[in-house]
Amino acid sequence: MILRGKAWKFGDSISTDHIAPGRYFHLRTNLPELAKHVLEDANPDFASQMAPGDIVVAGRNFGLGSSREHAPRIIKLAGVNAVLAQSFARIFFRNSINVGLPVLEIDTSGIEQGDELEIDLGAGTVRNVTRDETLIFAPLPPVMVKILDDGGLVDHFKKHGVFNLDQ
Amino acid sequence: MTPLEKPQKSLRIQIPVSSTLAEKIISEHAGREVKPGEIVVTGVDVTALQDGTGPLAIQQLEELGMVQAHNPKKTILFIDHAAPSPRKELSNAHISLRDFAIRTGAVLSDINEGVCHQRLVESYASPGDILIGADSHTCTSGALAAFSTGMGSTDVGIGIATGKTWLKVPETMKIEISGSFSKGVYAKDLILHLIGEIGADGATYMALEFTGPGAKSMTMSQRFTLSNMAVEAGAKTGLFASDQATRAWLEEHGRGEDFRELRADLDAEYSRTIQIDEGTLEPTVSAPHTVDNTMTAASAAGTRVDQVFIGTCTNGRIEDLRIAADILRGHQRNPHTRLIITPASRKVYIQAAAEGLLADFAEAGGLVTGPGCGACVGVHGGILGDGEVCMATQNRNFQGRLGNAEAFIWLGSPATAAATAIAGEIVDPREYLE
């Protein structure tokens, strides 16, 4: 599968409070509404200016902090195709796989705001069309590939009825 | 009853190899020796949801047609983040949690009971358990030698319904503690110092294991403070071996029979060892806006503070309140500094009341609230105004956490927080101790 989109650049240590701020706690039961505030405290213009298919590109330790699954959910709900980062916090990473949001660990230092990107999940590459560069991302653990391929953990369970993670 | 249903202490297999504590607990559940990197589908002994993450989990189970609890008496739904509810959307979320408890027989911990992690260590977590909770600070129960970790709503929902989850066996980072704390230095200073040293991603995917004579001589309350903040270094859990202190804690809470002695093997392999001498530590704070942005309280001294918040799963226990009360007694909070104290649980609240601490706090100009997460999550209980600065005994100071992205949060020990409330600015607490 090829994902194409424009890069939105973020820095290091983007926390779950940046992604889904505490003052919108009451919107957790209204995810479409919460998605209008996604990443608001990191970039207040992001939610209103992004287009479906855009790609979040970040530095180190993206998603640090809370286990709130709402964070990757609203990123996906806003229409983001994938999150690329230098590294991810572990609960956020696992939650992203569970909700079917591709999260790819890759050297993002050379990607700039607005770059056009092409992600080939099967081949394991990210092509920066704007800069004519190709990067390889760290392969996902097979267990997570299984869940992601099924569209997330709920879909995995709908399909198999149990954990079907044998490698 | 399947072997995975009830606490299977009698059915667990002794794994006679060189295992870290994390490896040992997972191995016992897997029925075979496991090594770091392996993926294991395992039974889960205790599952927990809170009012911020629970409704989504229930929604997922409804979508799956799996509204059930595999082990209802060890499935706990906590209403703590918005307790009591400050707005109707949250009240409706609470209704869905209470409804789920009725439908499945799961345990409801309502608005008066306190913070989930404090309740878990008081009444539910046991040595050797695998415990998953839909809250990142679920690692707190690691201090009871339980492999206890935070996950998202869907993961825990599936765990509740099926009694299972999948885990990747983590590498373990050993934190070898020696020495003893100088006056005015506490467990909170140690863990802030450690996170400052290794960074917010220094232990990502790893288990922390706190060892050494310093760890062994810690009270359970101190151990909970350390384990609670393991996730702030990126760790999966923060473990202590169980010992007499663990037994005494469990007995004090009416469940001495849950005790078993559990520790790593002497020849276990750790990917990294960090040594900390408690005697070298100083009162430490985390500056806005990350937990690893640490410095000594002395070097932050003089920073004007508008609100001091003492409480939370990190430092809201009776020992923490005693330390704070000892400093505040006979003093007044600074006129420009609000002081909020929130006991971590009903039990702590009752005990603090019996010891006269709540009156001490009120006399000093503090506002004592009921047990719960309180101000910590930015939902209610002490939201900050634009430009305001808060010193808190909680575990996280991310921008916006206290409900306002234009505010600033510092983290410190109960002693640092109490002294700061009197001074009206960040201060080294040793100046307020005899």
Kindly give, in sequence order, each residue whose CB lies less than 8 Å from that of residue B414, ignoring residues fewer than 6 positions away: B186, B188, B310, B315, B320, B321, B323, B324, B393
Question: Residue A165 has what pLDDT?
Answer: 82
Q: Over 50: is that where the pLDDT of B108 sits?
A: yes
Question: Residue A121 has what pLDDT?
Answer: 87
On whether any CB of chain B is under 8 Å from the CB of A66, the answer is yes
Nearest CA in chain A to B58: A29
A67/B166 CB distance under 8 A: no
Considering chain B, what is the average pLDDT of its residues? 95
Question: Residue B434 has what pLDDT?
Answer: 76
- Name the token pair of A80: 């983001």
A23/B403 CB distance under 8 A: yes
Quick one: which of B135, B163, B148 has its CA closest to B66?
B163
Please identify which residue in the block is written with the tokens 């991310």.
Answer: B398
Q: CA A12, CA A82: separation in Å to the nearest integer?
A: 17
pLDDT range class, residue A64, cuts 50, 70, 90 = very high
Sheet of A55-58: strand order equals A103-105, A82-85, A55-58, A2-9, A116-120, A125-128, A133-136
Residue to test with chain A: of B38, B201, B402, most A Cβ within 10 A: B201
On whether any CB of chain B is under 8 Å from the CB of A161, the answer is no
Question: Residue A37 has what pLDDT?
Answer: 97
Least confident span in A159-163, B203-207, B253-257, B318-322: A159-163
Kindly give, in sequence order, each residue whose CB lies less than 8 Å from that of residue A48, ignoring residues fewer than 6 positions away: A36
Question: Residue A141 has what pLDDT?
Answer: 85
Q: Over 60: is that where the pLDDT of B6 sits?
A: no
Nearest beta carbon to residue B154 from set A25, A28, A154: A154
Question: Residue B407 has what pLDDT?
Answer: 96
Q: Over 50: is that where the pLDDT of B2 sits?
A: no
pLDDT range class, residue A123, cuts 50, 70, 90 = confident
Nearest CA in chain B to A100: B154
pLDDT range class, residue B13, cuts 50, 70, 90 = low
- Name the token pair of B425: 């600015």
Amino acid, res. B266: L
The answer to whether the beta carbons of residues B259 and B156 sit under 8 Å apart is: no
B378/A23 CB distance under 8 A: yes
Nearest beta carbon to residue A41 from set B55, B155, B400: B400
Nearest beta carbon to residue A29 from set B63, B81, B92: B92
Q: CA B298, CA A56: separation in Å to the nearest integer?
A: 39
CA–CA min distance A107, chain B (Å): 16
With beta carbons under 8 A apart, name residues in chain B contacting A98: 152, 154-155
Q: CA A150, CA B292: separation in Å to the nearest integer?
A: 37
Chain length of chain B:
434
Q: Over 70: is that where the pLDDT of A117 sits?
A: yes
pLDDT digits (tens, 9 = 90+) for B87-102: 999 999 999 999 999 9
Q: Over 70: is that where the pLDDT of B28 sits?
A: yes
Rounded mean pLDDT, A147-155: 92
CA–CA min distance A167, chain B (Å): 9
Rounded mean pLDDT, B332-337: 98
Question: Residue B12 has what pLDDT?
Answer: 57
With beta carbons under 8 A apart, name residues in chain B contacting A15: 398-399
On whether any CB of chain B is under 8 Å from the CB of A163, the answer is yes
CA–CA min distance A68, chain B (Å): 6
CA–CA min distance B155, chain A (Å): 8
A67/B135 CB distance under 8 A: yes
With beta carbons under 8 A apart, name residues in chain B contacting A100: none
- CB neighbour class for B389 (10 Å; exposed up to 12, middle 13-18, buried from 19): buried
Q: Over 60: is that where the pLDDT of B280 sits?
A: yes
Amino acid, res. B67: V
Nearest beta carbon to residue A154 from set B60, B81, B378: B60
pLDDT digits (tens, 9 = 90+) for B134-171: 999 999 999 999 999 999 999 999 999 999 999 999 99
Q: Over 90: is that where the pLDDT of B212 sits?
A: yes
On whether any CB of chain B is under 8 Å from the CB of A77, the answer is no
Q: CA A14, CA A40: separation in Å to the nearest integer?
A: 11
Question: Residue B207 has what pLDDT?
Answer: 98
Question: Residue B430 has what pLDDT?
Answer: 98
With beta carbons under 8 A apart, name residues in chain B contacting A23: 378, 383, 400, 403-404
With beta carbons under 8 A apart, name residues in chain A contacting B39: 141, 143, 165, 167
Q: Over 70: is that where the pLDDT of A167 sits?
A: no
pLDDT range class, residue B235, cuts 50, 70, 90 = very high
Pairing label, strands B307-311, B338-342 = parallel
Residue to test with chain A: of B94, B173, B401, most A Cβ within 10 A: B401
On whether any CB of chain B is under 8 Å from the CB of A141, the answer is yes
- CB neighbour class for A77 (10 Å; exposed up to 12, middle 13-18, buried from 19): middle
On whether any CB of chain B is under 8 Å from the CB of A54, the answer is no
What ipTM was estimated for this complex? Answer: 0.91
Question: Residue A139 has what pLDDT?
Answer: 85
Question: Residue B267 has what pLDDT?
Answer: 92
pLDDT range class, residue B14, cuts 50, 70, 90 = low
pLDDT digits (tens, 9 = 90+) for B391-405: 999 999 999 999 999
Of the two residues A166 and B309, the one the predictor is more confident about is: B309
With beta carbons under 8 A apart, name residues in chain B contacting A28: 52, 55-56, 93
Q: How many Cβ atoms are within 10 Å of A83's Cβ, its own excluded?
A: 26
Quick one: which of B251, B184, B241 has its CA closest to B218?
B241
Q: What is the DSSP string of A65-115?
A: S---THHHHHHHHTT--EEEES-B-HHHHHHHHHHT--EEE---TT--TT-
Q: Over 70: is that where the pLDDT of B8 sits?
A: no
Ramachandran angles phi, psi of B185, nearest 5° = -115, 135
A25/B82 CB distance under 8 A: yes
A87/B90 CB distance under 8 A: no
On whether any CB of chain B is under 8 Å from the CB of A150, the answer is no
B398/A18 CB distance under 8 A: yes
pLDDT digits (tens, 9 = 90+) for B255-275: 999 999 999 999 999 999 999
Q: Over 80: is that where the pLDDT of B16 sits?
A: no
The answer to whether the beta carbons of residues A66 and A12 sit under 8 Å apart is: no
On whether any CB of chain B is under 8 Å from the CB of A28, the answer is yes
The answer to whether the beta carbons of residues B420 and B389 sit under 8 Å apart is: no
Rounded mean pLDDT, B237-254: 98
B53/A99 CB distance under 8 A: no
Q: How many Cβ atoms are within 10 Å of A116's Cβ, its own excluded?
A: 14
The answer to whether the beta carbons of residues B143 and B227 sit under 8 Å apart is: yes
Least confident span in B9-23, B213-227, B313-327, B385-399: B9-23
Please identify which residue in the block is written with the tokens 């190899």.
Answer: B17
CA–CA min distance B24, chain A (Å): 22
A162/B162 CB distance under 8 A: yes
With beta carbons under 8 A apart, name residues in chain B contacting A163: 41, 162, 164, 166
Rounded mean pLDDT, B51-57: 96
